[in-house]
């Protein structure tokens, strides 16, 4: 948008917040929830276990909830690793 080639941009709020400049405005309307995930190779069980452990630690410490609020996200699923 800063190049003048677009007047508006639509993506999820965490990306918009990271791109925001003083001359930009983020509208409060939301279109639909955006799911996020972490991809791990099928045979990389060690990485999967470590990621699940860190996610649980972040939940327990409140860090995950803090990041969700800081980035204007909504935890629609709340529970879970798959």
CA distance 17 to 40: 27
pLDDT band at 42 (very low <50, low <70, confident <90, very high): very high
35-41 average pLDDT score:
87
Lookup: tokens for 79 = 């529970």
**Angle in degrees, CA 20, 16, 14, rounded to 5:** 125
Lookup: tokens for 65 = 């909830």
32-53 average pLDDT score:
90
Would you state the pLDDT for residue 18? 83
CA distance 2 to 5: 8
- Cβ neighbors of 72 (< 8 A, separation 6 or more) are 13, 14, 17
The answer, as to whether pTM is greater than 0.85, is: no
């Amino acid at each position: 948008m800063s190049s003048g080639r677009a007047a508006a941009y639509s993506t999820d709020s965490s990306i918009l917040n990271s791109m925001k400049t003083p001359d930009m405005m983020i509208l409060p309307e939301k279109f639909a929830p955006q799911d996020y995930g972490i991809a791990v190779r099928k045979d990389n069980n060690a990485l999967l276990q470590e990621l699940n452990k860190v996610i649980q630690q972040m939940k327990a410490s409140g860090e995950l909830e803090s990041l969700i609020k800081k980035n204007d996200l909504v935890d629609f699923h709340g529970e879970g690793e798959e």
